[in-house]
Structure 1
């Protein structure tokens, strides 16, 4: 971790590797400052890691990065202990939070953090990139809450990119809050909702048997992507309703 007048720099990294005797070990589990990785009890061959917020943030000017990689045959689940709050601060410029997930052939990663909450006055640019080799499996969830109860959101620019087998399956960006281009809160985007999320599921069998498009309630959809993947996307009035919609959509995607 480093701290300067421009904010705090922190990085966390986890590498999952399959043991010859079975199961998954974690030869790399590194973190510092506001980012703390903790291994917890797994299930079967799966290794589980929890990302704990050791300090508040990110604040304006902070730079956070998390790298998660699963080698061939490994199974890794990454969760977080609590929601992440994007907060205003004394640093110069917007905060940056980068997440990079890599899944080798025959490996499986479940990236299931708690929501990101954009607090009034904050400025955050978040970038999540997932690269899945042919034959790899991924379940990746993102949830964003625009403002705490009764408050307006900060500025949030969030981009999600997912590639499988060297082909880009999804590349989308959401820009919302004060200073964002007009229309972000209109009927074509969030329609007044304050919680938005998506789950991307990459499975080899989807290449031959893609999921069927369907609607879950009034504000959630399950969609096949152009490749071995499916997208569940939803908006809701609050985080609790959003989670229920995403869970129902994930179940519908199989």
Structure 2
């Protein structure tokens, strides 16, 4: 068997999230059903770097699967993409890795981007990919407030009640808020995040952007260690997993251009 690291992108809109659920279709189910075609119809288990929620998108998700040795990286990528049609999930890159490499536990960084469309008119082209906030937001104030969350803290105030992490302690390396015309972007990086942590950051920062909270209140919310002290949870459609980092990334030595899409698709059964 060969272990394959997969770089994925997907539109989370039609899915119940990454993880298999009994109440709808998941990204994991789509990938594993496709992978079974490469394994003589036998089930294939996948491990993912970050389990995204329903409606959350990915541009740089990473997973791994184990498959028989008979196929090249191009064949793996193209066959998976063929069998995942018509679902909005694609493999951008497939790289053979060592048997002890793990998409989740080998990862040392996750990066997310949250987009807010800050204009009066509703989105058309960006529908399903942004949080539409029609009233003006002060992105500079939001950024200043965000910097108060950097570092190692107890993030209980920004943790979902359903979070199953053993500890609320996390180290936040980046939380930047910028504006480009009508779009406000919140980009954050950490080794790992608590459930709904990023969306809770954004929902709270929106209160600062509206002028309802002073910048200093972000520190008060953090120090309270109480979910009720922070703002609401932002909706999922604005959130995208943009990258997963590894000490020795399998995707840096073999970039996307080295396995650019071929003219032919190769279904494997």
| TM, length-normalised to structure 1 | 0.25
> Per residue, is there more helix in 1 or in 2?
2
Q: Which is greater in Rg?
A: 2
- Structure of greater relative contact order (alpha carbons < 8 Å, 6+ residues apart): 2
| TM, length-normalised to structure 2 | 0.24
